[in-house]
Every structure is written in C-alpha cells, then in structure tokens.
Amino acid sequence: MEPFAWQPAASPSEAASIATHTTAEAMLTLTGRPDTQQAMLIKAGGVDLLDLMKEGLVNPGRLIDISRLPDLDGISGEPDGGVRIGALATLARIAAHPALQQSHAALSQAAALAASPQIRNRATLGGNLLQRPRCWYFRSAAHHCLRKGGAHCFAFPGDNRYHAVFANQGCAIVHASTPATALAAYRAEVELADSAGHRRRVPLADFFVLPQADMHRENTLARGELLTAVWLPPQKPDCRAQYLQIGERAAFDWPLAAVAAVLDMDGTGHCRQASIVLGAAAPVPWRARQAEALLAGARIDSATAAAAGEAALAGATPLSQNAYKLPLLAALVRRAVLSAAAIDTVLPANPGAP
C-alpha cells in the first residue's frame, strides 16, 4: 500500500463534501497506473478498498473514514412493515437479525453466505454493495482492462469461466455482491445522501448500471454522495423467499451461480407474483423476467418450477468457458422456487448454507 493520510469524518455530509472521487473514478486511468494520488476516498469497513489498495489498483491520497459515524448502522422496522438497514450495518448483524430472518429470509441467507465470519464482522452492507468486481483481469494491476480505462477486455479472448452469461457485451464482469441478489429480488432501494444532507431513494435496479450504459462503474453513485441506507419494502404476509448459491468451495467463495426467489403465494398453491433474480450471472443482479412472468398466477409445482428455470435462461449469451452456468442457474431457480413455495425441501446445493 502506498502512504495516505487519514481523516475521520464528523458527519455523512462532511464526508460527502470532502470526497473528491468515488473509488471507481479514482481507479480510472489512461496509463494503467493509478494516477490520482490526491484522491480523497470514503472508507467504511474498508474490506474491499484495502484489498484494492494492497494490489496497487488505487492509491488515494487520503481516506475519509465513516466507519465510526453514529446512527448509520441501525436495522429498524418501519411503520409500513418495511425495513431500513443502515449502510454501516455489518453482514454478520444482518445475517443474525431475528426480525430480518422472519421478514426477509433470502437476505439473511445471502448475508450469511458472503465471505467468512471474520469478514462479515467487518464488512458493511454499503461497502458490500459498492465493492468492485471480482473479475481477475480487473483485479490484476498487470491487466489494464476496459473497466479501468484501458483499451482491451482480456476476458473475452482469455479465461472467462467465472464471467457473465447475460448482458456481457463489452465487459463481462459479474456483480460481486451476494446480498445484492437478494435485495434486488425484494425490490429494495438505496438511500443516497449528498454533502448538503439531502437524501434520495433510488431503486436498486436503477442504481446498478450495465457496462453498455457505463463501462467504468457498477452503479450511479456520484462523487460527493454517500450510500447511507438500504430500504426493504414491506412483504405481503404470504411472501416466501429462498436464496441459493453454488460455489466451488463451501465457504468463502464467490458463487458460480446464485438465485433469490421471492414468491407471493395465495394460500392455494398458486403464486400471485414472483421475483426471480440471478446472481453471478450478469454485471448487475439479473432479473429473470420471463421466469417471473411464467410463475405469476401459476400453480407452483415441479413442472412450473422447472419451466421457470428454463425461462430464466432467456437471452443468455454464454462465453467460451462459462456455458456451464446455464444448467446451474436453471437448477437453482427450480430449487429455489420449490423451496420458497415449501413444496420441496431444498436439496443441499450449497453445503455451506446455515
């Protein structure tokens, strides 16, 4: 790590006003060497930022620490039945939160499967959502890839076994956040604050951006903005949810494929509305709209679940080495739907699941 100065922030708005760049902006260079040494960056848990700094991928001149700011880590039920999760709430607290386990089980399940207990004790929800992609070319200082301002994508001609199977034109990263898959399935919103203290809420689906829209960042967070909270809308009483992921290791492995299914059941075995989101499949949490359409109004059984699994693959464009993700995603969707609908117990697809 290069030397940097340190400044604890007094308030979210102060942090937002001091920050000169987002981490994504600070990593953008024409030369392949971070040339924004004077960048002042916001740091929360620091899990991903320190990793990037150790690899020499970003060399900020100053870190503005928001990790000790008060009142940014609460998990609170809202009067309408929704939940607000402060951006500094750790994944460990989210995973272990009894009310969340009841109301938003898929989020608890996803949070419990991210990284390791040690990291979950430090990693904040905000930092997790804003972490940069895990693409090994992006993470290698030797590969000046498109997303860092370079002229080449190394994954297309190279090794793309862990890359995206949807919306992968131009840049084939997959979104790195495990909880984001579940949050997207719950149609969550992020709360953003600017230096003037104004707060706005943006649907997660609008917050995350595809490479086609902007190759150099994964979200619309602007310079001078802080992610302060995530809002989960209230769930209907008959809503049932399941998160599943598959990795090569049972723990501390970014998934090869993941799915979050939230089904609004009508009590007669039919699904009023379904939300199916795929993880590790696309540069953003990938909403499987055809699967959702197929499930809406349908009786949930193994045939509809299997059909939903196949429908979830619509529009997939696998690369040279990642077509295996398609059968994997189809199987996960089918199992998650059946499990959410309490028709079939979950097969032990991910042995690491609690």
Partner 1 sequence: MANEHRKEDAAAAGRIAGPAPLPIVLRVNGETRELMVEPRTTLAEALRGPLGLTGTKIACNHGVCSACTVWLDDLAVASCSVLAIEVGERRITTIEGLAGQDRLHPVQAAFIDYDAVQCGFCTPGLVMSCAALLARNPRPDRKEIETAISGHLCRCGTYPHVVQAMLALGTREEPDLE
Partner 2 sequence: MNDEFPRRREHFPVGLAHLGLETVEREIPADEPPALGPNAGLRQIGKNAPRWDARAKVTGAARYTVDVSLPGMLHAAVLRSPWPHARLRSIDLSRAAAAPGVHAALTVAEPPVSGKPIVLRYVGQPVAAVAAETPALAQAALQLIDVRYEPLPFVTDPDRAKQADAPAVYRKPELDKVPSAGLPASAAVYPLSGNVLGPESRNSRGDVATGFAEAAVVVDGTYRTQVQTHCCMEPHAIVASWHEDGLDVWMSTQFTAGVRVQLARHFGLPLSRVRVQVQAMGGGFGSKSQMGVYGRTAVSLSRLAGAPVRLVYRRDEEHMDSGNRPSSEQHLRIGARSDGTLTAISLHSHGSAGIAFGAAPGGIASALYPCPNMESLHYDVFTNAGPSCAMRGPGNTQGAFALEQSIDELAEKLALDPIVLRDRIDPSPVHREERRMGAERIGWSQRRAPASDPGPLKRGVGMAQSLWPANVQINTACEVRLWRDGSVEVLSSVQDIGTGVGTVLAQVVAEELGLEPAAIRVRIGDTEFPSGPPSYGSRTTASITPPARTAAWRVKEAFFRTIASAWQVDAHTLIVQDGSIQVRNDPQRRISWQEAAAALRTDRISATAGRADDYAGFRYRSGDAAMALNDLGGAQFAEVEVDTESGVIRVLRVVAVHDCGRPINPRQIESQVQGGVLMGISYALMEERILDSHTGWMLNPNFVDYKVLGPQDAPEIDVVLLENYQGFSASDAYGISEPANIATAAAIANAVYNAIGVRIRSLPMTPAAVLQALGLVPGGRH
Question: Footprint of partner 1 on this chain (CB under 8 A)?
Answer: 1-11, 14, 46-47, 50-51, 53-54, 62-63, 65, 67-70, 92, 115-119, 121-122, 250-252, 352, 354
Measured between alpha carbons, how far is 27 from 144 in angstroms, rounded to an integer?
11
Q: Is 102 in the site for partner 2 (CB under 8 A)?
A: no
Q: Are strands 5-8 and 62-65 parallel, antiparallel or unpaired?
A: parallel
The entry of partner 1, partner 2, none that residue 347 binds, CB within 5 to 8 Å by partner kind: partner 2
Contact 312, 329 (CB under 8 A): yes
Q: Is 324 in the site for partner 2 (CB under 8 A)?
A: yes
Measured between alpha carbons, how far is 71 from 196 in angstroms, rounded to an integer?
18
In eight-state DSSP terms, residue 140 is -
Residue span binding partner 2 (CB under 8 A) among the ranges 157-165, 184-192, 224-232, 281-289: 157-165
Q: At what angle do helices 178-185 and 105-113 cross, to 10 degrees?
A: 170
Q: Is 282 in the site for partner 2 (CB under 8 A)?
A: no
Q: How far is the CB of 201 from partner 2 (least distance, A)?
A: 33
Q: Is 132 left (phi over 0), alpha (psi -120 to 50) or beta?
A: beta
In the block, tokens 């997959």 appear at 174
Of 3 and 157, which CB lies nearer to partner 1 in the complex structure? Answer: 3
Q: Is 89 in the site for partner 2 (CB under 8 A)?
A: no
What 3-state DSSP class applies to 35?
coil
Q: How far is the CB of 58 from partner 1 (least distance, A)?
A: 13
Tokens, residue 115: 């990284």
Q: Is 349 in the site for partner 2 (CB under 8 A)?
A: yes
Give the one residue of 167, 188, 312, 326 binding partner 2; rule: CB under 8 A: 326
The entry of partner 1, partner 2, none that residue 194 binds, CB within 5 to 8 Å by partner kind: none
- Give residue 130's identity as a one-letter amino acid code: L
